[in-house]
Structure 1
Amino acid sequence: MNKRFLTVALAAGLIAAGCSDGSDNDAAENAAPPEEEATEQAASTEKNETDDFLVPFDETLTHVHGMGYTESEGGLYFASHTGLKVYRDGEWFETDGMYNDYMGFNAVDEGFYTSGHPGMDSDLPNPIGIQKSTDGGRSLEEIGLVGETDFHLMAAGYRSHDLFVMNPQANSEMEAGFYFSDNDGADWEQLDPKGIEGEIMALAIHPDDSQLMAAASNAGVFLSEDGGATFERLTPEGEFGTALHFTDSELLYASHGTAAAMKSYSLKDGETQSLELPELGEDGAIFIAANPAKPEEMAFYTAMGDSYLSGDGGETWQEILSEGQIQ
């Protein structure tokens, strides 16, 4: 096992411990007190009616906490400590406002679900609980647990919008542990999964079929086909899982043993195929995303701040970030 990569991965925030540089505290200092109620945060009406919400971005992209393709908006979205950054048609953009520290970020067909902490321009309580956006991040709609919990480990069905979370500590609706909701967080079902081992680094849920769930930990990659009741290990002993992503027909997962690996597990027949990766050295993927609108397009982001894009199903890769620097 590559212990150096595991250390870097943990520092990158894979296990629900927050930003390694104390940036969560920075967000808290700039947030409004929890008792201030705010169910929706919006940019100006002018920005909602125009494309001015996205402006060119040419700075360094750091502290990425999630990535994904939002069908309604187009482009590859990166959730960072200072809001959303977008790679679209070979160009980079950032949002003009809404600089929230997005954690547990999940792109879905109509927008995204997220948790995290408010930015300096926000009047949301800290933490922001679970929020969703259906307008590319111009506004947020409260799902629940605002001012109570920051869900670093959260998965959302791309089309079902079902939620699979790991609650880090008791709040007003949940004890600590795994929970599932099929009605946008109005009700939560506690899960008691069997078979998962280790410290959880990532969760995933199928775009439509919520019987299919996955978890990655420092003990491997685990798949459930019964709605989270039981999980089966997909990786060998001694190999830890670092990233997960469901497409309609497969589970894409990244792991690390003696070297970084990325594989495709067929949900139809259980066959596993390895994807060719660029030379990553001691680095490895911590987020994976595939574009539902273009099945051959996929991307991944690494613990050391690199990101690669493929337009041919992972046969070749283009580097679009190198240690956070735009390429």
Structure 2
Amino acid sequence: MKKTWIWPVMAAGLLISACGAETSQETSEETPESAESTEQTEIQTAVDSEAMELEVPFDGTMDHVHGMGYIEENGGLYFASHEGLKVYRGGEWTEIEDQYHDFMGFNATSTGFVSSGHPDMQSGMKNPLGIKRSDDGGETFEDLGFEGETDFHEMAVSYNNNNLFVFNPQPNSKLAAGFHRSDDAGKTWQQTAAEGLDGKVAYLAMHPDDSMMIAAASNQGIFWSEDGGESFSRITEDELGTAAFFSEDALYYGTYSEDAKLVKRDLSGDEQEISLPDMTEDGVVYIAQYPKKPEQLAIYTAKGHAWMTQDAGDNWTQMLNAGQVQQ
């Protein structure tokens, strides 16, 4: 199976360049321009002007993306890159000015985001960041612990209550190595057994409301837990697990075997495969859904492409081509 190439790319957090431009699958009568115009009007009405003040236009290339998600309060699709946060909103690209941290383990929430990583050298913050939360678009940060101690690459955060599930790579002042959860937004922690979770985990996801429900993507497949990470069940066979994301009513996950797949699995276990854009030896590594419009999905791939659909996969518009923003 042609799958051995993709895992080192994801596990190392590296991106490989595309050989050529991808073409979007546009088959509906509505043009990308008209769809984006409508989206722009809807989103601008809801955007918090204070959050927008932090943003400046961005027209460049982003490398080493380690998370992607919508912040519901301001309608932005945030990409956590090696050089700060880049935002796609209503067909336009911006970046957060003067906050060029190397974000890892990034999770968007309804009001902001939670992340780990390494600080911008000019910021004066301790390295690594530990776990930080921002509810003002990245202007300020609340320390949730482990600053100067640990960089959490694998971290899941509940979208609506900020509870956490993390993999700690080595012991620190509070946590042993292994998987841990917090049911009070980082104030206290407890270790979990993670029985049944096999392989090297690349990504963790937590349900937006029920923090007992956790998913993991590893090189052994996609795994599901309903007891807060104490035990996991494998829900795929003979495929690499490449991505996982919970909406309120479903788990979206990505796999790779002969080709990339994107699947919607509802909470009862029924599954539906979602059509993907044309992807050659590429796989989905991040998935996001705009909460106010469930059919609006975004994906980011191992080769640095990003795509958006307004109709649950019938048509896709490209936002990034090998890291280069598409205007």
Note whether the superposition's TM-score is higher than 0.5.
yes
How big is the shift at 1:314?
1.7
Q: Is the 8 A contact 2:167 2:177 kept in 1?
A: yes
Partner of 1:16: none
- 1:299 maps to 2:298: yes
- 1:261 maps to 2:261: yes
Q: Report which stretch shifted further, 50-59 or 280-289.
A: 50-59
Which ranges in structure 1 are unaligned for 5 or more consecutive residues? 14-18, 21-47
Partner of 1:77: 78
Q: Is the 8 A contact 1:157 1:163 kept in 2?
A: yes
Task: Provide the TM-score with structure 1 as the length reference.
Answer: 0.87
2:104 & 2:155 partners in 1: Cα distance?
A: 9
2:179 & 2:10 partners in 1: Cα distance?
A: 22
Q: 1:50 to 1:304 in 2, by over 3 A?
A: closer
Q: 1:278 to 1:186 in 2, by over 3 A?
A: same
Q: Deviations over 1:127-157 (max 9, x none)?
A: 0100000000011110101000000000000
How big is the shift at 1:50?
7.3
How big is the shift at 1:93?
0.1
**Match runs of 1:95-110 below 5 Å:** 95-110=96-111
1:51 & 1:290 partners in 2: Cα distance?
A: 21
Q: Is the 8 A contact 2:62 2:83 kept in 1?
A: no
Q: Is the 8 A contact 1:98 1:121 kept in 2?
A: no
How big is the shift at 1:70?
0.4
Partner of 2:149: 148
Q: Is the 8 A contact 2:10 2:202 kept in 1?
A: no
Q: Is the 8 A contact 1:52 1:96 kept in 2?
A: no
Which amino acid letter does the alignment assign opposite residue 80 of structure 2? A
2:182 & 2:6 partners in 1: Cα distance?
A: 33
Partner of 1:313: 312
**Match runs of 1:12-27 below 5 Å:** 12=13
2:123 & 2:231 partners in 1: Cα distance?
A: 40
Q: Is the 8 A contact 1:125 1:147 kept in 2?
A: yes
1:49 & 1:298 partners in 2: Cα distance?
A: 26
- 1:176 maps to 2:150: no
* Residue-pair matches, total: 293
Partner of 2:198: 197
Which has the higher relative contact order, 1 or 2, with Cα contacts under 8 A spaced 6 or more apart? Answer: 2
2:51 & 2:188 partners in 1: Cα distance?
A: 36
Q: Report which stretch shifted further, 311-320 or 2-11.
A: 2-11
Q: Is the 8 A contact 1:243 1:254 kept in 2?
A: yes
Q: SS of the counterpart of 1:312?
A: coil
Partner of 1:246: 246
2:99 & 2:8 partners in 1: Cα distance?
A: 31
What is the RMSD computed on CA atoms of the aligned residues?
Answer: 1.5
1:49 & 1:84 partners in 2: Cα distance?
A: 16
Q: SS of the counterpart of 2:7?
A: helix
Q: 1:211 to 1:321 in 2, by over 3 A?
A: same
Q: SS of the counterpart of 1:139?
A: coil
Q: Deviations over 1:76-123 (max 9, x none)?
A: 000011110000000000111111111000000110000000013311
- 1:59 maps to 2:94: no
Q: 1:319 to 1:165 in 2, by over 3 A?
A: same
Which amino acid letter does the alignment assign opposite residue 285 of structure 1? V
Percent identity between the aligned chains? 49
Task: Provide the TM-score with structure 2 as the length reference.
Answer: 0.87
How big is the shift at 1:49?
5.4
Which ranges in structure 2 are unaligned for 5 or more consecutive residues? 17-48
Q: Is the 8 A contact 1:211 1:224 kept in 2?
A: yes
Partner of 2:272: 273
Which amino acid letter does the alignment assign opposite residue 223 of structure 1? W
Which amino acid letter does the alignment assign opposite residue 295 of structure 1? P
1:52 & 1:136 partners in 2: Cα distance?
A: 10
Q: SS of the counterpart of 2:66?
A: strand
Q: Is the 8 A contact 2:51 2:74 kept in 1?
A: no
